[in-house]
Structure 1
Amino acid sequence: MIIYKTFSFDAAHYLPHVPAGHKCGRMHGHTYSLKVFITGDPEPHSGWVMDYTDLKNGISPLIEILDHKVLNDIPGLENPTSEQLSIWLWNKIKPVFPGLSRIELNETPSSGVIYEG
């Protein structure tokens, strides 16, 4: 079974490795949507794969690191493409939630990345 929870945060960034004059080379911001998927079997007593509150409490410190920040200033995110941000998030979440099976990160309602480790 797979459960998920969605989080959002606002952050600014610029992409230092795009061609000269590319609009994403300038500072700009997004309202990101992060969906975290956990795979597991429901525990017989509770019937849950995990408590959504536990998932929220585990992810919230990461959201605090990112929310209303310049992503380029965060160690490990000097080139903060959605792809790189997804890898960064995966590497932070997987040790806390071994059942992590997928991350979906949208930087706009119509653009995003799916990362499965």
Structure 2
Amino acid sequence: MIEPIDPAHLPAPSPAYAHGALVENARRTLFVSGQPPWTTDGDTPAGFDAQCRLAWANVVSVLAGAGMTVRNLAKVTIYLSDRRYRDANAAIRHEVLGDHRPAVTVIITGIYDESWLLEIEAVAIG
């Protein structure tokens, strides 16, 4: 359903993303709002790894609410508060996505809440 597109004339992407994600004959599209690293009580854990795993868990919860999984992700945008989190972000993203390779963009920027070290938004196709 979602085919990774990696043209030969571009540098090879890491195993955790594709240059493009081709979607044909999709029946449903889910736009996942930016998911911050907060619990149902509004608490934010300390440390990047815990925040990253929680933000991904929140994305997975939204996907599940629509009857989807990470295999339905076509596009993911991750906003990091600091570039020093690049490697941990990539490792945890790969841990969550496994061999699924959606299109991914990582942006270093200010985040809405200063206690959040990242936020993740996505588009899923069903």
Q: If the TM-score is normalised by the length of the shorter chain, which range does it land in?
A: 0.3 to 0.5
Larger Rg: 1
> Scaled by the length of structure 2, what TM-score is found?
0.33
Q: Which has the higher strand share?
A: 1
> Scaled by the length of structure 1, what TM-score is found?
0.35
